[in-house]
Amino acid sequence: MNAAEMKKNYHYNNPIIQTNYTADPAPMVYNDRVYLYTSHDEDGSTWFTMNDWKCYSSSDMVNWTDHGSVLHFNEFRWARGDAWAGQCVERNGKFYFYVPINKKNGGMAVGVAVSDSPLGPFKDPLGHPLVETGTGDIDPTVFIDDDGQAYLYWGNPYLWYVKLNEDMISYDQEVGIVQVELTPEGFGKREGDDPKRPTLYEEAPWFYKRNGLYYMVYAASGIPENIAYSTSTSPTGPWTFRGIIMPTQGTSFTNHPGVCDFKGRSYFFYHNGALPGGGGFTRSVCVEEFEYNPDGTFPTLNMTTEGVSPVANLNPYIRNEAETIAWSYGVRTEPCSKGGMNVCNIDDEDYIKVRSVDFGSVGAESFTACVSSVKNGGMIELRLGSPDGKLIGVLNVPNTGGYDNWKLCSTSIENTQGVHDLFFVFKGEAKNDLFKFDFWQFEEAQSRNGE
C-alpha cells in the first residue's frame, strides 16, 4: 500500500496500528481488555532495528488505544539492543514481560521485566538474563497452566523450555533447560538436509491451552515463513504436527502468531508489511477472527484488509483518547506533555476513524476536544461513515499559545443518534503540524419529553 492508497482505504481495518511499524504481536486479555504488546521496527529500517516494545489496548477489538513505549532495551543494563519478540503475562496482579535481547558481550538471551501495571513501567529484577543456551535464544512464550505451573518456551532453530518457578523470574533448576525433540511427526518434515532444521519449526512459538489441548503455534517452513501448529495433551509434549494455519502471504518474510479468546470469540494476530514503506523490516500487526473446528483444529486463515468486527460499541459520552484509533491516515502519536499519549503530526486532510460509536437514541448535541497548537490551529470536521461522509459539526482549533498549552474547545453539532463510524478529518491552512490532539468527548442532548 502506498500513501495515496492508505488515505483512500478508510474502510480498511488491517493493519490495526497505522501510526508506527509494529511486529511480533502478543495479546494478553486482562480485566475485559485486550492488551497487545508488540515489538517496534524503527522507521526506515533495513535490518531488525528494534529498540523498544509498545502496548496498545482495546475493549472492542477494533479501536486500539496507543499506550506508547512500555519497555526499552536500556532497562536491561546487560543488553545492547535488538528488542525482538516478547510476551507479557499476568500472575497475582503482577505483569511479567519476557523478551529476547542482544547482550553487551554478544548473543541473544531472554530477560524478564516486571510491573504492577500492564502499561508498565517494567523493571528488570534480575540484572542478568533469565535463560540462555547460547543458540538462538529468541521469541519467548509463556503459559501458566491450571495447576499453577508456568512454562517458558523459546528458540530458533531449536525449541527449548523451562518450568518457571512461582516467582516467574527464576526456573526449576532440577529440570533445567529442556530441548524439545523436533521430529517430523511433531513439527512436520522440512525438505532439504539442514541438520539444524529437520522440521518445519522455525521460530516465534506461541504456547497456550484450550479445552484441555495444548497448542504450539509457530513461524514455520523457513524464509519466507508461514504459520503452522502442533498440539499435545501434555504441556511438554510429545507434539503432533497439525498443519499450516496461515500460508506465506504479505510482504514480510517473517511472520509471528499471537492467539487469544476475547468476549467469546477467537482471534489470530500476525504481522505483514502492508503499511506504506512496509516490508520485512518495517512490519505491521494485523488480526483476524476465526472459529476453531469442532475437534479443536484451526481453519486455514488468510491475511485480509477487512480484519474483524467490533465486539462492543464505543461510548462517546466519556473521555476518549485521541490515540484510540481504528484506522488513520497521516497522523502519528507521541508521549503527551501532561502524561499519557497524544496525536501529533496532524496535517491538512489527515484523518482518524473510530469505529462503532454509539450515540444512543437521545443523541449528541456538542463535542469537546483537548488540543494544543503553536500556529493558527485548524479545524476538526466530524463526519459519519467516511472522511467525506455526513458533516455533523466542525470544531475550530485556535492558537493555544504552545504545544504544552492544552485547551478544551467545544462546538455544538447536529443531533446525532445511533451507531456510526466516526471520522475526525483535520483541516488547516498551514497544511502541516496544525495542532496536537489529546482527548475528546461528546455531550448528550437533553432528553426530550422526560425520556
Catalytic sites, residue numbers: 24, 202
| Look-up of cell digits 502519528 | 332
Q: Minimal CA–CA distance to 403: which of 335, 329, 331?
A: 335
Task: Specify the residue, 61 or 138, whose C-beta has the smaller distance to ligand FUB.
Answer: 138
- Find the binding residues for ligand FUB in span 139-168 (CB under 6 A): 139
206 binds ligand FUB (CB under 6 A): no
Instruction: Report the DSSP pairing between strands 21-30 and 265-272.
Output: unpaired
Of the candidates 48, 122, 262, 351, which one interacts with ligand FUB according to CB under 6 A? 48
23 binds ligand FUB (CB under 6 A): yes
Amino acid, single-letter form, for residue 195: P
| Cis before 184? omega within 30 | no
For 90, the enclosing helix (H) or strand (E) is strand 87-91
Q: How far is the CB of 12 from ligand FUB (least distance, A)?
A: 23
Are 359 and 442 in contact by the 8 Å Cβ rule? The answer is yes
Task: Specify the residue, 269 or 367, whose C-beta has the smaller distance to ligand FUB.
Answer: 269
Q: How far is the CB of 156 from ligand FUB (least distance, A)?
A: 7
Q: How far is the CB of 43 from ligand FUB (least distance, A)?
A: 15
Residue 213: CB atoms within 10 Å: 14
| Cis before 157? omega within 30 | yes
Task: Specify the residue, 161 or 442, whose C-beta has the smaller distance to ligand FUB.
Answer: 161
Cell triple for 120: 508498565
Of the candidates 28, 55, 71, 85, which one interacts with ligand FUB according to CB under 6 A? 85
Q: How far is the CB of 204 from ligand FUB (least distance, A)?
A: 4
39 binds ligand FUB (CB under 6 A): yes
- Find the binding residues for ligand FUB in span 245-284 (CB under 6 A): 254, 256
Q: How far is the CB of 34 from ligand FUB (least distance, A)?
A: 20
Q: How far apart are CA 146 and CA 126, in angstroms?
A: 27
Q: How far apart are CA 246 and CA 301, in angstroms?
A: 5
Q: How far is the CB of 79 from ligand FUB (least distance, A)?
A: 14
Q: How far apart are CA 139 and CA 445, in angstroms?
A: 51
Task: Specify the residue, 35 or 281, whose C-beta has the smaller distance to ligand FUB.
Answer: 281
Q: How far is the CB of 283 from ligand FUB (least distance, A)?
A: 7
24 binds ligand FUB (CB under 6 A): yes
Of the candidates 10, 37, 73, 84, which one interacts with ligand FUB according to CB under 6 A? 84
Q: Minimal CA–CA distance to 369: which of 358, 361, 380?
A: 380
Task: Specify the residue, 41 or 350, whose C-beta has the smaller distance to ligand FUB.
Answer: 41
Q: How far is the CB of 209 from ligand FUB (least distance, A)?
A: 22
Q: How far apart are CA 171 and CA 162, in angstroms?
A: 6
Q: How far apart are CA 388 and CA 351, in angstroms?
A: 10
Cell triple for 426: 483535520
Task: Specify the residue, 122 or 327, whose C-beta has the smaller distance to ligand FUB.
Answer: 122
Task: Specify the residue, 26 or 425, whose C-beta has the smaller distance to ligand FUB.
Answer: 26
Q: How far apart are CA 124 and CA 314, in angstroms?
A: 36
Cell triple for 235: 504441556
- Strand-pair partners of 153: 141, 161
Q: Minimal CA–CA distance to 96: which of 151, 133, 24, 156?
A: 151
Residue 33: CB atoms within 10 Å: 15
Q: How far apart are CA 106 and CA 109, in angstroms?
A: 9
Can you give the C-alpha Rg of the chain in angstroms?
Answer: 23
- Find the binding residues for ligand FUB in span 175-204 (CB under 6 A): 203-204
Of the candidates 70, 101, 138, 395, which one interacts with ligand FUB according to CB under 6 A? 138
Task: Specify the residue, 140 or 363, whose C-beta has the smaller distance to ligand FUB.
Answer: 140
Number of residues that bind ligand FUB (CB under 6 A): 13
Binding site for ligand FUB (CB under 6 A): 23-24, 39, 48, 84-85, 138-139, 203-204, 219, 254, 256
